[in-house]
Structure 1
Amino acid sequence: SGFGGIIVPLILWQVKKEEIRDIDHHAKQIINFQISYYIYFAVAALLCIIFVGVLILPILGLIALIFPILNGIKANNGEPINYPLTIQFLK
């Protein structure tokens, strides 16, 4: 997802916040998720030195792939979204 994972939601949030209901909440959750997982990936990469990160990186990759898809479907259906292990930088 690279930095597009943060930039795209940030742009959509700023451009569409008056038009789309609940975009404020969803955008903050997505941005918090992306920042949190950048931190987790960096820590896991450092932990690769002692081989622990080798186990953690694939799990983080799956979470980073699966939860945005699941939460996109939930948001489209009007259901509440949830990103696991997300640090709340934006409230």
Structure 2
Amino acid sequence: MLDNHQKNIATLIHLSTFTRFFFPLGNFIAPIVLWALNKDKSEFVDSHGKQAINFQISILLYALILGSIAIPLFAFNLFSGFDFINFNNFDHFHISISKPSPLLFITGGLGVIAFIGFIIELILIIRASLTAREGKPYHYPFTINFIK
């Protein structure tokens, strides 16, 4: 039988991922500390802690993949439109940017996907914390189980 303390700890583990807005890597450190301190006391807390940590690691992996695609495309598009050779002895400095490249649209689309993913992440964290508060198990979608 679950008591309120176990439900509160599991809820707090999920909500502790929001500490990233206050200090770097808070979305990893806070849940890991809470989980490590309480995993032996309850299987319910252990399960929710693993889910929260696995979800954060999965989100990091997805962000790195998306960034490794988007950043080079953006940089290539940014520097391909500048005229770096002809400065006219610095008497008349003119930067010529041509029409937008398809790479810019692809990069913008990846940025939109990243923003939508961020909103979905926030919704899933809140949903997981509410489910933990009800005393039910929760499994984040699209999560790779690094910690089993």
TM range (shorter): 0.7 to 0.9
Q: Is the 8 A contact 1:29 1:83 kept in 2?
A: yes
Residues 1-54 of structure 1 show CA distances to partners (whole Å, capped at 9, x for unaligned) of 351111111111111224455111111101100000001111112222251422
Matching residue within 36, 60, 63 for 1:14: 36
Matching residue within 81, 84, 89 for 2:141: 84
Q: Is the 8 A contact 1:41 1:60 kept in 2?
A: no
> What is the correspondence of 1:51-70 to structure 2 with a 5 Å cutoff?
51=107, 52-70=109-127
Structure 1 runs (4+) greater than 4 angstroms displaced: none
Task: Return the alpha-carbon distance in structure 2 between the equivalents of residues 89 and 15 of structure 1.
Answer: 19
CA offset at residue 65 of structure 1?
1.0
Give the share of equivalent positions with the same residue, in percent. 36
**Using a 3 Å threshold, how does the CA distance of structure 1 residues 40 and 33 change in structure 2: closer, same or farther?**
same
Task: Return the alpha-carbon distance in structure 2 between the equivalents of residues 84 and 63 of structure 1.
Answer: 11
Task: Return the alpha-carbon distance in structure 1 between the equivalents of residues 147 and 32 of structure 2.
Answer: 12
Root mean square deviation, CA, Å: 1.6
| Matched AA of 2:56 | Q
Task: Return the alpha-carbon distance in structure 2 between the equivalents of residues 32 and 4 of structure 1.
Answer: 14
Flag structure 2 segments of 5+ consecutive residues without an equivalent.
1-19, 74-105
SS in 2 for 1:60: helix
Flag structure 1 segments of 5+ consecutive residues without an equivalent.
none
**TM-score, length-normalised on structure 1?**
0.86
**TM-score, length-normalised on structure 2?**
0.56
Q: Is the 8 A contact 2:38 2:46 kept in 1?
A: no
Matching residue within 68, 84, 89 for 1:46: 68
